[in-house]
Structure formats: structure tokens, C-alpha cells
Amino acid sequence: MRVTVYCPDRHLTYDGRTPDEKGVGGGVTARIRVSTALARRGHAVTVVCNCGQAMTHEGVRFAPLASVREIDTDVLVMHTTGDKLDLRPLLDLTVSSRLRVVFVDGIEAPKGLADVKMDFLIAPSNFIRDIAYGEWSVDRAKIFVSHHGVQRDFFSPSLVLNPERKLHRIAYATHPSKGLDSALSVLRLLRREDPQFELHVFGGYSLWGQNEPIQEAEPGLVYRGLLGQRELARALMECGFALYLQSRLEPFGIAIAEGLASGCVTVASPVGAHAEIIDQGRSGFLVQGDPTAAETHQRAADVILNIARNPVVAGYIRENAWKVPLDWDMVAHSWEQYWTWFLKRKSGIASFRHLRCPECASHWLLLADGYHCAGCGRYSRDGVR
């Protein structure tokens, strides 16, 4: 099929090379990764975005926003994750499409959601599904939950399960506003117990197209900057832990998924979709409490100290964590299956009428990534939880 991904955001300039050449935030990453995965599945994919010039990368054609006045496609995927969060520039174009899909990546409803005539909405988590239904007034039956993936070939099992990784190295790989101050507080507590602990900060303000301020030096603190995502994956596989104490409600958390895929023992706040990704005590740890409070920092430090002193448990967590995140190819496969089911008037995909959604009792659809409720949009990897 012909698939067009349309993004009107202009706060960043990027194309298909950007994630691997210099790195970029989760919204752009998701847009590019799922587009290239769809192209690998044989679809003719065009991304209309704020790219500097027309180009083709990994089978995906990138077209600058200013060059496109008309879209003729089978599936139109509309996606905005920054700038004005406004889909209404699409209304200035002539559009012909069999299927119109809005792909969201935040807790704020995109402007123009009611104007672009979507057939259904793709949410990155059950958490965002609940917001879309409860706050944006989207019909639950028109929501498809699809967890983000990782570039699985970046995370070599031999490196993920390598017992020689630096157990006292902690990764923080997201925007500083999400909890860097809390991570620094935990680092200081850890270094009182063992000065080997280091906090390696990846990304920074440039993830969101902002200028980087001058960073103050501190013992054990290492700023690594914005890295291409293959290089970032290798750096994460050298870390023992990933730390994300935050109050920001995370729509999904690609940083969490990459931490798990890299085999880091991931310690995070149970906000937004984090609890959908981390299986407490098995693939990582969710630390309750105000993420800015000293007692929460102490609880996180205690978790890290206990695991660092017990390599057998660390290895168990690491092996489980590596298996959790989906691969982008599996995500793209499930998208393809869902829109084929939708276009065929909701037939042609295996459903399980004897296995019911625990929320609304409708039957599940079994797709490549797991179970999807046909009635309320709920997603489950195993058809139970």
C-alpha cells in the first residue's frame, strides 16, 4: 500500500538519517522508525516533514513540507509531537486517502483533532488511550494502542548480557526537565556509599531543539551529549543502571524501552505508561513517591545499591529486561494488520471470543504484537493483563 506520514512540526529540521547521525527525541524517532519498518514490509512510504531537501533513506521518501500541496495515498498517518501540536495545516492541502489515522505521542490533544476526519487514533499506551477517551472525547472503539519499539539489531545479546559491564555506571538518557535533578540527588547519595558510582547523561536540551546551557561540573557526573542512536545503544549496554525519577506523565517512554533493551537495570517512577512497560521486580523497578522528595531518592538509591551488590539478581533482571521491548518491525506489522482489518470492515484477523477483555468483555484481536480489544482499544501482550 501507499502510506504517507504527515507531520507539520517545524521546530526541528530532520530526515531519515537524523536518529543515527546525531540523535533526536522520541517523537521524531517513532515517526522515522515505524516509517522505515513499514517500507521494509513492502509499502511505498512517504514522510512529509520539515526536512531540508527531498531525499530517500532506507526505502522511505522524505518530502519537505513546502513542496507538498496534494497527498494521494492509501493510508494517511498524521503525527505531531512538538512545535504547535497542530494538525490543521493539513486542511490547506488536497488530500485523497482510503484511511486517515492520527498517531499521538503526548498527553495534550493535537489541535485540529476533530477537523482532520480521522478513522481511528493510534495511542502509544493504554495510559494515553484513557486520556484520549476521557479528556479528548475520542470513541474508545476508534483507538488502537500500539507500544513503541526499539531498533532491536542495535542491542546485541552478547553485550546486553555481558557480565563485564560497568555496574556502577548509571544512564540518564532523556530531556533534563524530566528528572535530571532527581537523578543527581540519587547520585550524591550513592557516592556517599561508594565513590565508584557515575551518572552518564545522554541527550540534553537539544533533544527538543533547544540550546544547551553551560553544564556545571560535579564529581561522578559525565555529560555525553546527543549521540546517534546506534552509538547510544552501545553506550547504554556499558551501563549498569538507567534512572528515571520524574513527575512528567510519560505517554510511553522510549528511554525506558531502550534502557530495558540494553540490559540496564531500570529504576523509574510509576508515571504515565511506565507501569505498562516495567514488570516490577522482574524487568526493572518502579519507585513510589514524589520524585523530587529526599525519601524517594533514598529509596531509589537503596534499590541500586542492593542490586549492585548482588550480580546474580542483576543478571536475572537484565535478561528479563532485554526481552521486554518490541522491535519496530513487529510494531509495523501490527499496524498493517490492524488497518487491513479495519479496511476489510473488521474481518480477516483472528479473534478470540472465548477470551474476553477484562475491562469491557469484548473479544480480543490477536496481532503480531499481542492482543487488542475490538471494543475499547485496550492492549495486552498476553491477553490477560
pLDDT value of residue 353 = 59
**pLDDT per residue over 186-210, tens digit each?**
999 999 999 999 999 998 777 777 7
Q: Are 194 and 119 in contact (CB under 8 A)?
A: no
Torsion of CA 359, 360, 362, 363, to 10 degrees: 0
Q: Are 304 and 266 in contact (CB under 8 A)?
A: no
Q: Which of 191, 148, 144, 128 is nearest to 27 (CA)?
A: 148
Confirm whether pTM is higher than 0.75. yes
Query: Residue 178: phi, psi to the nearest 5?
Result: -80, -10
- Asked whether the predicted pLDDT for residue 351 surpasses 90, the reply is no
> Which amino acid, one-letter code, is at 10?
R
pLDDT band for position 349 (50/70/90)?
Answer: low
How many angstroms separate the CA atoms of 177 and 197, rounded? Answer: 22
How many angstroms separate the CA atoms of 47 and 65, rounded? Answer: 9
Q: Which of 346, 339, 344, 335 is nearest to 40 (CA)?
A: 335
The per-residue pLDDT of the chain, averaged, comes to: 93
The answer for residues whose C-beta is within 8 angstroms of residue 151's C-beta and 6 or more apart is 33, 229, 230, 233, 327, 328
Q: Which of 71, 48, 47, 45 is nearest to 59 (CA)?
A: 45
- Asked whether the predicted pLDDT for residue 48 surpasses 90, the reply is yes
Domains and CATH numbers, the chain: 2-146 (3.40.50.2000), 154-319 (3.40.50.2000)
The answer for residues whose C-beta is within 8 angstroms of residue 217's C-beta and 6 or more apart is none
Distance in Å from the first CA to the final CA of the chain: 33
More confident residue, 382 or 101: 101
How many angstroms separate the CA atoms of 86 and 361, rounded? Answer: 35
Instruction: Count how many Cα atoms sit within 13 Å of the Cα of residue 110 in the half-sphere of its side chain.
Output: 30
pLDDT value of residue 69 = 97
Per the listing, cell 510519560 goes with 250
Over residues 17-43, the mean pLDDT reads 95
pLDDT band for position 352 (50/70/90)?
Answer: low
Over residues 234-242, the mean pLDDT reads 96
Per the listing, cell 482510503 goes with 98
Q: Which of 213, 306, 299 is nearest to 265 (CA)?
A: 306
pLDDT value of residue 22 = 87
Edge-first strand order for the sheet with 351-356 is 351-356, 363-367, 370-373, 379-380
pLDDT value of residue 249 = 94
Query: Angle of helix 229-236 relative to helix 254-261, nearest 10 degrees?
Result: 60
Q: Are 151 and 233 in contact (CB under 8 A)?
A: yes
The answer for residues whose C-beta is within 8 angstroms of residue 324's C-beta and 6 or more apart is 257, 260, 261, 277, 278, 279, 283
Over residues 139-165, the mean pLDDT reads 91
Per the listing, cell 474476553 goes with 356
